[in-house]
Amino acid sequence: MLVLLTGGTGGAKLVLGFHEETAPEDLVVVCNTADDSVVHGLHVSPDVDTIVYTLAGLIDPAKGWGIRDDTFTVLDQLQRLGNESWFRLGDRDIATHVTRTRLLAEGQPLSRVTAALCRALAVRSTVLPMSDQRVETRLSTSVGDLSFQEYFVKARWQPEVQTLRYRGMERCLPAPGVLDAIGNAAMVVVCPSNPATSIGPILAVPGVRQALRETSSRVVAVSPMVQGRSFSGPAHKLMATLGVEASVTGLAGAYRDFVDVLVIDAEDQDLQPAIEKLGVEVWATSIRMDSLDDKKRLARDLLQLSS
């Protein structure tokens, strides 16, 4: 069993690579849920949905989120009725959120709801939310206190971020199966997701970081950055909130207590000695994943590290 820790768009690229290169049943994908929000009364789990749609072959490949060829009739009408529409929800995507909201209202935990959605969409891998309890990333910024979606989507990650916190984290527990999966994995892969807003919350779930330190399986992390910049989005800007510099050396510093190998881009190879000094092994290769072939190649190479 291979355990993948991931956020949404960046992590999903590598998740797809593994899905194509291994038996899908052998994958356990643990998703960040600190970006979850209630939109038009519906419970939206953006990272879980990106992963489920990716594994179901439904993802919109151009955007990296949402359902391919979806329409926006409901959102247009919601806007006409005076609702905000900056958070884009397609019509078919809304069906997922209606179903999730109904099942949660009936008393099912998010992990069971996610399993039901996976079954309905013929996903063969196991997708686990990091927790069944509600956790929310809050950013204190130059324009006030924002949720992750307000910062990322509405404000297009332009405000300066001073601090970041995961509201509700102290009361939450890992979802059923998360700790067992980490403990029994053949390998754990920390996907190239935002270290502050995607991986950070998963690591902060009580018990998860300790399980990663204690597991006998190899823990491998793939960098979401090259030359001090993210491939997309604000990850490099948010590294300071973790108390480290925006570079793969900073990333190694943030993950050094549980990561065995950090996979960095060949362009960052000059930083290998500094990372090794932190006690983290380095593997330098091409970590950009534009095509399906890139995703499969990186997944195939990572599988070699488990043996």
Residue 41: other Cβ atoms inside 10 A: 8
Pick the closer one to ligand GDP by CB: 117 or 226. Answer: 226
Q: Using CB under 6 A, which of 2, 3, 5, 7 touches ligand GDP?
A: 7
Q: How far apart are CA 286 and CA 7, in angstroms?
A: 21
CA atoms within 13 A on the CB side of 165: 7
Q: How far apart are CA 80 and CA 78, in angstroms?
A: 5
Stretch that binds ligand GDP, among 8-16, 89-97, 137-145, 201-209 (CB under 6 A): 8-16
Q: How far apart are CA 240 and CA 132, in angstroms?
A: 29
Residue 90 near ligand GDP by CB under 6 A: no
Residue 164 near ligand GDP by CB under 6 A: no
Stretch that binds ligand GDP, among 69-77, 108-116, 174-182, 186-194 (CB under 6 A): 186-194
Ordered strands of the 144-147 beta sheet: 144-147, 136-141, 161-167
CB of 265 to ligand GDP, least distance (A): 7
CB of 152 to ligand GDP, least distance (A): 7
Q: Using CB under 6 A, which of 210, 227, 232, 291 touches ligand GDP?
A: 232
Residue 202 near ligand GDP by CB under 6 A: no
Q: Using CB under 6 A, which of 2, 3, 4, 8 touches ligand GDP?
A: 8
Q: Please report, as residue ranges, which positions from 33 to 52 form the binding site for ligand GDP (by CB under 6 A).
A: 47
Helix-, strand-, coil-residue percentages of the chain, each rounded to 5: 45, 20, 35
Residue 6 near ligand GDP by CB under 6 A: yes
Q: Residue 74: which H helix or E strand, with range?
A: helix 73-80
**Which residues sit opposite 221 in a β-bridge?**
190, 262
Select from 274, 102, 295 the least CA-distant residue to 189.
295
CB of 224 to ligand GDP, least distance (A): 3
Q: Please report, as residue ranges, which positions from 265 to 304 form the binding site for ligand GDP (by CB under 6 A).
A: 287-289
Question: Is the separation of the CB atoms in 164 and 135 below 8 Å?
Answer: no
- Give contact residues for ligand GDP (rule: CB under 6 A): 6-11, 13, 47, 192-194, 198, 222-225, 230-233, 235, 287-289
